[in-house]
Amino acid sequence: MTNNDIFKKLRVAHQLRDDDIIKILELVDFRLSKSELGAFFRREDHPNYMECGDQVLRNFLNGLVIHLRGPMPPKNKAKPSTRDNKKSKPKVKPDITSQKKSNL
């Protein structure tokens, strides 16, 4: 299965038009003209057929995620957990040698 096939199937499954796909690609700052996009959806034996590269498909998938889920929320510095705030004392193993001497 080629990238063109995957692109076509996603287009049909999500009922996307050319304008929708161009807007989705713009979500990830990737510019593509309608004629370039149309070349991906042509038959392989057509003179204007163009093979869809990995970069185009990758950017479309990233844009589709943003389109469907919405943009990622900004990453704030996480508040330290209460576990980190507690000063834990290191566990000290009892000295076995001193116990043996005292028992003798």
| pLDDT tens string 33-71 | 999 999 999 999 999 999 999 999 999 999 999 999 988
Check residue 72 and give its pLDDT. 80
Task: Of 19-23, 24-28, 29-33, 70-74, give the lowest mean pLDDT range.
Answer: 70-74
Check residue 10 and give its pLDDT. 95
Q: First and final CA of the chain: distance in angstroms?
A: 80
Distance between CA atoms of 3 and 57, rounded to whole angstroms? 7
How far, CA to CA in Å, does 20 sit from each of 37, 47, 52, 101? 11, 25, 17, 82
Mean pLDDT of 10-37: 95
Distance between CA atoms of 75 and 91, rounded to whole angstroms? 35
- Name the pTM for this structure: 0.68
